[in-house]
Chains A and B, each alone.
Chain A
Amino acid sequence: MRSKVFVHAIMVASCLATIFPLLWMVSTSLKAPDDIFTPGITLLPPRPTLGNYQKAWELTPLGKYMWNSTVAALVIMASQTLTSLLAAYGFARHRFPGREVLFALFLGTMIVPIHVVMIPNYILVSRLGWIDTLAALIVPQLSSAFGVFMLRQHLLTLPKELFDAAAIDGAGSWRALWQIVVPIIRPAISALAILFFLNAWNQYFWPLLVLTKPEVQTIPLGLQRFASTEAGTSWGPLMAVATAASVPALVVYLVAQRHIMSSFVTSGLKG
């Protein structure tokens, strides 16, 4: 019994240490300017105010950043989910020459990190005239090898009889995909879509290279831009932007926590 209390104490302490920076971020964003520098740990703002959000809205194109992030994340999510589903179905439910080689080529892309290909990709995207457009951000990420891999695993667990029955009904492979396969693996598809959304929403490095103007930048870039111009003077508005950047991701996490944990765990953690 005593050892259980001890374990709970350690877990609670670790949880507090983990969640503290986020609480501190939100708390700072809600504090009046004079309360930001008070001594000690004051997590609850003595005079809560939305003034920092208002100031951030005036000092940065916050709405534009959020809009760009939303558009980019939704398009990337939709495209990666759809292309992964089609390719996974192609691999899992069809026999054709070259299948193993093609699948190995898909898997192979997963060991190539972005910094190895970023220079030629930057050159390609700028030759196409896409620098400072959302196309530069979105087009290189229209598909995901991990998504193909994960959905293929799910499709391989479906019983063969399901597809035999569909064939007897005269349903072609296209109709079988949408009428039989998709409804059954819908939970796996949504888990994957959520993962794609979060990764796209949070990503920082590739957008940093191809989006240089505030009008086209996403929220993590806007945060960094704001920090490099204002840091040290206006922590309140800065933490307001940081909070705005995190809220969509945290809401998605709260709603679909279980799905997110398991799909992150299989996919690896990204920036």
Chain B
Amino acid sequence: MGASAKRVVLPSHVVTSNRLSGWLRHAAPYLYILPAFLPLVAFVYFPLGRTFQLSLYDWNMVSPQWRFAGAANYQALLTGEEFWMACWNTVLYVVGMLIFSIVIPLTLAVLLTRIAGGLQTLYKAILFSPAVISFAVAAITWLWIFNPIDGLLNRLLLELGIAGPSWLNNPRWVIPTILIICSWKLIGYNFVIFAAGLAGIPNEYYDAAKVDGASAFQQFWRISWPLLTPTTFFVLVTTVIYADQQTLIPIQILTQGGPNKASTNLVYLIFQYGFQFFETGLASALATLVFLLFTGITVLQQRLLERFVHYEV
């Protein structure tokens, strides 16, 4: 009796729960995705559109007045001297970073393949360590080392009889100095990526080359370098993006773009227009240009990658 009474009760309960679970089954994937999706819409897609929109207006961020300016902001940028100076400096930063942060890590990674054992891991761990340090800490620590009077570098130079320059206040030295700080953060990171790429090349290739009497340089040039191209392209893309974007932090902390704009770059200029001069429209126009430029470069690099990379390993 009791059992059959339960059976009578159960179906209606099951029916409602089925309806509910049926609805849930369809909605479930969207519900899983929603919490991650909402912040990205609100803080990436919405402002991205907003930046394009703002770039067409003349506005100072606080006034209720928005004046439509059409392409005037873009025109002001492209005809002004500051923009081209920042462009040139951006090129210097990118080229400098590519030289420091690709040649050195690649050389070290190739050397690392010649040794084995526990020390390899130790070397990697130490070389990688600047990557986990805050850029603010890196900037301030190097500020101490580069201090013109009491800093370690100039004191050591003085002992050699050389009067070191005022590194960050000298238009000739300021970009190389910032490049050293940025490279310090990036070299170990790129090194670990190159080392992983090299470790993925089968040993048989080198064994065969050795049998044929290939020199160390030939082994690198004929085997490592071509097979490493996917890794090299990856490092190339990250380094260009890094030189474009992350240089902002040492520039803001150490030089504010100076002396006399010698160390400014495009991204720092966006920051200045936006948050120091409150030229919201001008800053947005510059942000739009920089975004298009670097997205363009990334796409171009991607194309080149598809064209030239040897994938067969």
Contacts and interface: CB of A to CB of B under 8 A. Distances in A.
Interface stretch (A49-57, A141-149, A184-192): A141-149
Main secondary structure of the interface of B (DSSP, over half): helix
A236 to B, nearest CB: 10
Contacts of A44: none
Given A204-B249, A209-B275, A21 B44 contact: no
Contact of A115 (B30, B39, B267): B267
A183 B241 CA distance: 36
Contacts of A71: none
Contact of B33 (A24, A25, A86, A268): A86
Interface stretch (B74-82, B189-197, B198-206, B219-227): B189-197
Contacts of B144: 24-25, 28, 235, 238-239
Given A119-B51, A139-B39, A208-B252, A261 B152 contact: no
Contacts of B136: 202, 204, 220-221, 223-224, 245
B35 A143 contact: yes
A18 B188 contact: yes
Contacts of A39: 155, 159
Contact of B47 (A19, A91, A117, A271): A117
Interface residues of B, number: 94
Which of B35, B46, B142, B244 counts the most chain A CB atoms within 10 A?
Answer: B35
A84 B36 contact: yes
Given A90-B29, A94-B29, A24 B145 contact: yes
Given A84-B36, A143-B36, A242 B141 contact: yes
A119 B133 contact: no
Interface in A140-160: 140-145, 147-148
A87 B28 CA distance: 11
Nearest to A82: B35
A123 B47 CA distance: 10
B61 A269 contact: no
B141 A21 contact: yes
A196 interface: no
A28 B42 CA distance: 44
A227 B250 CA distance: 13
Given A120-B54, A224-B140, A87 B112 contact: no
Interface in A105-126: 105-106, 109, 111-124
A271 B249 contact: yes
Contact of B253 (A114, A115, A203, A227): A227
A270 B136 CA distance: 12
Contact of B245 (A7, A14, A113, A232): A113
Contact of A18 (B28, B184, B193, B294): B184
Contacts of A28: 144
Interface residues of A, number: 97
Interface string B166-183: 000000000000000000
Contacts of A269: 131, 185-186, 189, 238, 242, 246
Contacts of B43: 117, 121, 124, 139-141
Contacts of A112: 44, 48, 291
A250 B68 CA distance: 50
A53 to B, nearest CB: 16
B83 interface: no
Contacts of B112: 7, 11
Contact of A99 (B29, B47, B291): B29
A257 to B, nearest CB: 5
Contacts of B18: none
A241 B47 CA distance: 35
Contacts of A202: 132-136
Which of B33, B119, B283, B288 counts the most chain A CB atoms within 10 A?
Answer: B33
A104 interface: no
A265 interface: yes
A219 B137 CA distance: 10
B218 interface: no
Contact of B137 (A172, A242, A257): A242
A246 B44 contact: no
Given A113-B291, A268-B238, A201 B40 contact: no
Interface in A239-271: 239, 242, 245-246, 249-250, 252-253, 257, 260-261, 264-265, 268-271
Given A124-B43, A202-B135, 15 more contacts: A15-B126, A15-B127, A25-B141, A41-B152, A89-B32, A96-B26, A115-B287, A119-B51, A140-B42, A205-B249, A220-B136, A242-B140, A250-B129, A252-B132, A264-B128
Interface of B: 21, 25-26, 28-33, 35-40, 42-48, 50-51, 54, 61, 108, 111-112, 114-115, 119, 123-138, 140-145, 147, 150, 152, 155-156, 159, 184-189, 192-193, 196, 238, 241-242, 244-246, 248-249, 252-253, 267, 270-271, 274-275, 280, 283-284, 287-288, 290-291, 294-295, 298
5 contacts: A40-B159, A96-B26, A121-B43, A246-B137, A271-B134
Closest 4 CB pairs of A and B: A90-B32, A120-B47, A220-B136, A120-B50
